[in-house]
Structure 1
Amino acid sequence: MTSRLPRRFSLRPFTPSGFGIVRALDVQVEEPVQGTFTLRYTLYADLSRLRIPATRSPRHTDELWKHTCFEMFVRKWPDSLAYYELNVSPSTEWALYTFDDYHQNGAQVHLSTPPRVHFTREPDRLHLDVRLDMHGLPHARRMALSAVVEDDNGDLSRWALKHVSPKPDFHHPDSFIAM
C-alpha cells in the first residue's frame, strides 16, 4: 500500500491561554492512496488536571464532543460544502457523521469496518491513534482538525488548525485546509 509521508499539524486554542493546562496539541495525518486515514493526536499537558474518559468498548457514541475528544472533518467533493465529521475519544468510542452542507442534514454513517482507536498515556502526554477506512466513500483533498479538552473542573478548551469565527466552530467551511 503506497502512502504519502505523514504531515504534522499543531492545533491552536480558541482562547490564547487554552486554560494553561495544555502545553501543545499536535496531529500527525497519513493518508494512504486507498483511502485509509491514519491519525495520531498527541496532547502534551498536566494530565492530572484533565478529565480523560475511561476506556470502554469501541462503539459509535453520540455527543463525544461534550468531553475530551478529537475530531477530523473531510470534504467529500472539491466544489461542495458536503463533509464527514469523525469524533474519537480516549474511551475508544467514536462517531462518524455526514453533512450535506455547513451544519445541514447531519446523519450517522454506518461503516462495515469501524475505526480502530488506540489510546496510550505517558506521564506528560497522551496519544490517540486512529485508523479509519474511508475506501468507497467520496472525499476531496480538504480537511479540518480539532479537539475539545476538558479540565478537572469540567471546563472545555477548544483547539483547531484555524479559528475563523467569533465563537468556536469546527464545522465552518473556511476552517478546512488542503491535504
Structure 2
Amino acid sequence: MPALHPHPESPPLAVESVEAQLIRLPGKGALMARYRITGIGRLVIPEFTGRGREDDLWKHSCGEVFLIGEGDRYREFNFSPSGRWAAWDFAAYRKRAGDHDPFDIPEINIRTGDTMAVLDAKLDPREIGDFTRAGLSMVIEEEGGHLSYWALAHPGARPDFHHPDGFTFDIPEAMRA
C-alpha cells in the first residue's frame, strides 16, 4: 500500500504510519478505498452513527479520496468511521460545483486491533468515470483534539488536500474499465 505522509506543520502524536490505496474488488468489481493506520494508542475513532451524508467530517478522523481527469474539474469523497460520508464536485481548484450524489451510498467499515486500524470505504466502480488520477489522504484525530494531515504528497507550505499537485496516484486503466 502506498504510504501517506504527515504534513510537517501537523505531526502526529502517536500514529506511526498511514497507508492508503484504491482497490478494484473481484465479483461485482466494487471500488474500495482502504486506509491502514498503525500506532493507534491515542487515535480518536468517531462512533458509528449510521450511514448518511454529513459535512465537516474532516474535523475528525476521516479518509479522503480526490479524483481528477483532464481539465480542472475534480471530485472529493470523505469517509468517516462513524459511517457518515460526503461527496462534492468541483469545477476548478476549491470552486465547489455542488454536492455529488454517488451511484450507491458508500459502505464504510472500520476494524481495529491492538496497534492497527483499517478503514474501508466501498464505492460503485462507476465513480471512477473518466478520472485518471487520485489524491489519497486522511485526517487523523488523536486525543485532545490533535489533528494531523496525511497525504501521498503535500505540495504546499500548509496542508491542502485540494492542491492538484497532490493527486499523484495514477488510476490503472483496468480500474477505470
- Report the TM range for the smaller structure's normalisation: 0.7 to 0.9
Indicate the SS of the match to 1:46.
Answer: coil
Deviates more, 1:24-33 or 1:80-89: 24-33
Aligned amino acid, residue 50 of structure 1: L
Which one of the candidate residues 7, 11, 30 is aligned to 1:18?
11
Q: How does 1:37-52 map to 2 (within 5 A)?
A: 37-47=31-41, 49-52=42-45
Runs of 4+ in 1 over 6 A off after TM superposition: 32-35
In structure 2, what is the equivalent of residue 28 of structure 1? 21
What is aligned with 2:135?
Answer: 144
Q: Tell me the SS of whatever aligns to 2:58.
A: helix
Aligned to 2:67: 74
Residue 57 of structure 2 corresponds to: 64
Match of 2:47 in 1: 54
Per-residue deviation, residues 36-67 of structure 1 (Å, max 9, x unmatched)? 421211111233x1221011101111110001
Contact 2:103 2:126 in 1 (8 A): no
User: What is the number of residues matched between the two proteins?
Assistant: 169
SS at match of 2:95: coil
Q: Aligned-pair distance for 1:140?
A: 2.0
Unaligned runs of 5+ in 2: 172-177
Partner of 1:154: 145
Q: CA deviation at 1:18?
A: 2.2
Q: Which amino acid aligns with 2:22?
A: V
Residues 105 and 44 of structure 1, relative CA distance in 2, 3 Å threshold: same
User: How far 1:19 moved relative to its partner?
Assistant: 2.4
Provide the C-alpha distance between the structure 2 equivalents of 1:122 and 1:110, rounded to a whole number of angstroms.
Answer: 33
Contact 2:102/2:127, CA 8 A, preserved across alignment = no
Match for residue 3 of structure 1?
none
**Aligned partners of 2:56, 2:156: CA distance in 1, in Å?**
22
Aligned-pair RMSD on alpha carbons? 2.1
From 144, 164, 175, the counterpart of 2:166: 175
Q: Report the equivalent of 1:104.
A: 95
| Matching residue of 2:126 | 135
Q: 2:175 maps to what in 1?
A: none
